[in-house]
């Protein structure tokens, strides 16, 4: 019995190493001089070139500007998508209205349609509106997330109706019920949704790659990818950009692990 | 049952009676203005759901329904920019005769049939391990395994483009410790595919493992106890209790992974650019090239619809095969 536990622990530690090892290497490589990135054997201890690489990134992609762009886009997308999802999820979960089931099915059915189907018309729409190469062009299409609405509907459905009715009987208006009861009661799952949306926004790549034209509008993933495509690529810088893209995500996860997992599970297990 | 909340509600309500409209409307400022003027008329129980759903309906109409419809229309036309001519199914006919489309489809299918079972199998094993009470330090392993799925595709892409380097990559170095010769991961057609599969598997196994872990923890303990009373061994218990109980979540992950892999774009884009020799050209990548490199929107839309058709057919097939039998 004890042997089996040890064996399983060793296997899981191996899986852990396979998952986390590359991150360790990435963190170390980002502190090396460019020529040492491709040294054999690989450098597995910190090098002394972190500041130099940061400075290089600032010159090549305008790191601070790019980071601010990414934060702005991901942040606004998060606020917008969470508001839309909570409102719609509440309507789906607790109200009866005409067209409810039809709209819900339509919404969910878009999950099986590849996003690429929508790229070209949205691109043309943004061109016609003169929004190409703007923050709006990146943020707007991400505001309606079928996944977010679905998650909120599932979560709010499990809220007892008596709770809402009691407030209504006491004369609370619908807005007050939403603001004073629905949102506070469901704060953890709303936080989980916010995290997921923020992550999606922070990491999104294909659409910003198409929608953004000028380097000073680039988000971090787009800037990193273009940097890598250059002939004179400084790999230490590229890897540092990759590390910078990954770090906030891991920090968020470490701090808010519970919300992450509970959000994931809420979406997966409730029928 | 409703006593506690009904006692609490008026107290908080009275204190914030004047403030309620403002915070709740923060996300939808335009409507709040109207709502505040005619709150009695507008905010009845009948009208509230329509107001709540309005932003979602608008967004859905503009950024989902319209593009999906428009894309179909574009796929029936040829030409540049606004000068489009209706050419019926010409783009679809072209697609059937396009060897590169078939190459891309073959590559995508190949990656799909290898990668999805491999990843989900590994994820199930990891989940079973994480679910075992005999394992030490479970939260640590769970955290580490999950963390890779949070990494952005580009960050993962640049990281692995160096890790998979033939002459100085971390992977070849680790393999060399076991006496394995250097592998030309991104440079040879076969190994480039393997490399892409490895990276996707690294990226998403943990996510699926955590989903399965949730499913495992939802299996009623009594089922196992009853089976043990009946003398069923661990293997028997796995196949007659665990797997059937996990079926809904297995189905979900199979469908989601299939959709994801069929739309594969970011990893090959960053890792291989579709090469070498188009060995990692995927359908979505070919679509991207046609639409945003050659600006052939009509053909790119036809590719998108062909892909959507394949995705939905496979999805339906999977739900049929694995779904609840009634």
Q: What is the mean pLDDT of chain B?
A: 80
Which residues of chain A are within 8 Å of residue B22 when distances are taken between CB atoms? Answer: none
Instruction: List, in order of start, the domains of chain B with CATH numbers.
Output: 98-322 (1.10.3720.10)
Let me know: does B282 contact B311? Beta carbons within 8 Å: no
pLDDT the model gives residue A231:
64
- In chain A, the residue whose alpha carbon lies closest to the alpha carbon of B269 is A225
pLDDT tens for A16-47 read 888 888 888 888 888 888 787 787 787 788 87
**Rg value, chain B, Cα:** 26
CA distance B115 to chain A (A): 17
pLDDT tens for A201-220 read 999 988 999 899 999 999 99
pLDDT the model gives residue B324:
60
What are the residue ranges spanned by the domains of chain A? 48-269
Interatomic CA distance for residues A206 and B212, integer angstroms: 29
pLDDT the model gives residue A69:
95
Among the ranges A46-60, A85-99, A243-257, which has the highest mean pLDDT value? A85-99
Cis amide prior to B257 (ω within 30 degrees): no
pLDDT the model gives residue A80:
96
pLDDT the model gives residue B67:
93
Interatomic CA distance for residues A183 and B61, integer angstroms: 26
- Comparison of pLDDT for A188 and B100, the residue scoring more: B100
Cis amide prior to A31 (ω within 30 degrees): no
Let me know: does B276 contact B187? Beta carbons within 8 Å: yes
Contact B158 A241 (CB under 8 A): yes
Q: How far is CA B5 from CA A177, A179, B8, B83, in A?
A: 12, 15, 5, 63
In terms of Cα–Cα distance, which of A78, A92, A210, A74 is closest to A149? A92
Best of B130, B152, B298 to mutate (most A CBs within 10 Å, chain A) = B152
pLDDT tens for B22-50 read 344 334 444 444 444 444 555 666 788 89
Contact B311 A113 (CB under 8 A): yes
Q: Which string of b and e fits B70-109 if b means at least 16 CB within 10 Å?
A: bbbebbbbbeeeeeeeeeeebbeebbeebeebebbbebbe
pLDDT the model gives residue A218:
95
Which residues of chain A are within 8 Å of residue B151 when distances are taken between CB atoms? Answer: 23, 203, 245-246, 249
Which residues of chain A are within 8 Å of residue B26 when distances are taken between CB atoms? Answer: 83
Best of A8, A9, A12, A197 to mutate (most B CBs within 10 Å, chain B) = A12
Q: What is the pLDDT along chain B (326 residues), one digit of tens a residue?
A: 333 333 333 333 333 333 333 344 334 444 444 444 444 555 666 788 899 999 999 999 999 999 999 989 888 988 776 677 888 888 899 989 989 999 999 999 998 999 999 999 999 999 988 888 888 888 888 888 888 888 888 888 888 888 888 877 888 888 888 888 888 888 888 888 888 899 999 988 988 888 888 888 878 888 888 888 888 888 888 888 888 888 888 888 888 888 888 888 878 888 887 778 888 888 889 988 888 888 888 898 899 889 888 888 888 888 888 766 54
pLDDT the model gives residue B120:
93
- In chain A, the residue whose alpha carbon lies closest to the alpha carbon of B156 is A242
Which residues of chain B are within 8 Å of residue A107 when distances are taken between CB atoms? Answer: 56, 60, 64
pLDDT tens for A111-160 read 767 777 788 899 989 999 999 999 999 999 999 999 899 889 988 888 88
CA distance B220 to chain A (A): 14
Contact A224 B70 (CB under 8 A): no
The count of C-alpha atoms lying within 13 angstroms of the C-alpha of B295, restricted to the half-sphere facing its C-beta, is: 8
Q: How many contacts (CB atoms, under 8 Å) link A and B?
A: 337
pLDDT tens for B69-116 read 998 988 898 877 667 788 888 889 998 998 999 999 999 999 899 999
Which residues of chain A are within 8 Å of residue B59 when distances are taken between CB atoms? Answer: 84, 143-144
pLDDT value at A67 more than 60: yes
- Span A48-269 CATH architecture: Orthogonal Bundle (1.10)
Q: Can you give the pTM of this predicted structure?
A: 0.81
Interatomic CA distance for residues B50 and B58, integer angstroms: 12
% of chain A surpassing 70 pLDDT: 93
CA distance B260 to chain A (A): 9
B178: contact with A, CB 8 A cutoff: no
- In chain B, the residue whose alpha carbon lies closest to the alpha carbon of A43 is B170
B50: contact with A, CB 8 A cutoff: yes
Which residues of chain A are within 8 Å of residue B157 when distances are taken between CB atoms? Answer: 225, 242
- In chain B, the residue whose alpha carbon lies closest to the alpha carbon of A210 is B292
pLDDT value at A57 more than 70: yes
pLDDT the model gives residue B1:
34
- In chain A, the residue whose alpha carbon lies closest to the alpha carbon of B142 is A16
Give the residue carrying structure tokens 């490589």: A29
Which residues of chain A are within 8 Å of residue B215 when distances are taken between CB atoms? Answer: 268-269
pLDDT the model gives residue B297:
87
The count of C-alpha atoms lying within 13 angstroms of the C-alpha of A105, restricted to the half-sphere facing its C-beta, is: 4
Best of A1, A13, A15 to mutate (most B CBs within 10 Å, chain B) = A15
DSSP B83: E
Q: What is the mean pLDDT of chain A?
A: 86
């Amino acid at each position: 019995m004890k042997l089996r536990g040890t064996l399983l622990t060793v296997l899981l530690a191996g899986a852990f190493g396979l998952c986390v090892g590359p991150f360790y290497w990435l963190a170390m490589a980002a502190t090396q001089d460019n020529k040492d990135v491709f040294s054999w054997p690989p450098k597995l201890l910190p090098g002394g070139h972190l500041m130099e690489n940061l400075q290089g990134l600032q010159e090549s992609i305008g790191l601070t500007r790019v980071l601010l762009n990414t934060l702005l886009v991901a942040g606004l997308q998060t606020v917008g998508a969470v508001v839309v999802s909570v409102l719609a999820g509440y309507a789906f979960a607790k109200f009866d209205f005409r067209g409810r089931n039809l709209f819900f099915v339509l919404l969910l059915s878009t999950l099986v349609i590849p996003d690429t189907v929508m790229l070209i018309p949205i691109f043309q729409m943004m061109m016609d509106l003169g929004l190409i190469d703007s923050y709006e062009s990146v943020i707007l299409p991400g505001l309606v997330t079928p996944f977010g609405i679905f998650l909120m509907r599932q979560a709010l459905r499990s809220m007892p109706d008596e709770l809402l009715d009691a407030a209504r009987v006491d004369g609370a208006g619908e807005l007050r019920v939403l603001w004073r009861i629905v949102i506070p009661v469901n704060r953890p799952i709303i936080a989980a949704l916010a995290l997921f949306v923020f992550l999606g926004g922070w990491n999104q790549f294909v659409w910003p790659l198409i929608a953004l034209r000028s380097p000073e509008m680039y988000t971090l993933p787009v800037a990193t990818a273009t940097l890598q495509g250059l002939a004179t690529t400084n790999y230490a810088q590229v890897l540092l950009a990759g590390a910078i893209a990954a770090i906030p995500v891991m920090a968020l996860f470490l701090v808010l692990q519970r919300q992450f997992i509970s959000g994931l599970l809420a979406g997966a297990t409730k029928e | 049952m409703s006593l506690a909340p009904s006692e609490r509600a008026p107290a908080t309500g009275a204190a914030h009676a004047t403030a309620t409209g403002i915070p709740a409307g923060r996300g939808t400022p335009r409507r709040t203005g109207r709502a505040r003027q005619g709150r009695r008329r507008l905010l009845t129980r009948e009208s509230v759901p329509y107001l709540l759903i309005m932003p979602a309906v608008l967004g859905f109409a503009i950024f989902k329904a319209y593009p999906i419809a428009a894309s179909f229309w574009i796929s029936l036309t040829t030409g540049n920019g606004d000068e489009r001519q209706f050419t019926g199914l010409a783009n679809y006919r072209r697609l059937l005769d396009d060897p590169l489309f078939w190459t891309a489809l073959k590559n995508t299918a190949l990656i799909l049939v290898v990668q999805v079972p491999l990843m989900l199998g590994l994820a199930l094993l990891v989940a079973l391990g994480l679910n075992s009470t005999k394992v030490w330090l479970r939260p640590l392993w769970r955290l580490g395994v999950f963390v890779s799925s949070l990494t952005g595709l580009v960050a993962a892409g640049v990281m692995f483009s160096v890790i998979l380097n033939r002459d100085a990559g971390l992977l070849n170095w680790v393999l060399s410790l076991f006496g394995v010769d250097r592998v030309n991961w991104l440079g040879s057609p076969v190994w480039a595919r393997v490399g892409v599969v490895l990276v996707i598997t690294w990226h998403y196994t943990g996510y699926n493992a955590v989903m399965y872990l949730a499913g495992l923890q939802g299996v009623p303990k009594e089922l196992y106890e009853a089976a043990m009373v009946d003398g069923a061994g661990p293997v028997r218990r796995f196949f007659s209790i665990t797997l059937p109980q996990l079926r809904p979540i297995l189905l979900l992950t199979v469908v989601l992974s299939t959709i994801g892999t069929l739309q594969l774009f970011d990893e090959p884009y960053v890792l291989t650019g579709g090469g070498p020799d188009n060995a990692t050209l995927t359908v979505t990548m070919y679509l991207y090239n046609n639409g945003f490199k050659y600006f052939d929107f009509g053909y790119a839309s036809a590719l998108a619809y062909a892909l959507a058709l394949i995705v939905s057919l496979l999805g339906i097939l999977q739900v049929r095969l694995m779904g609840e039998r009634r």
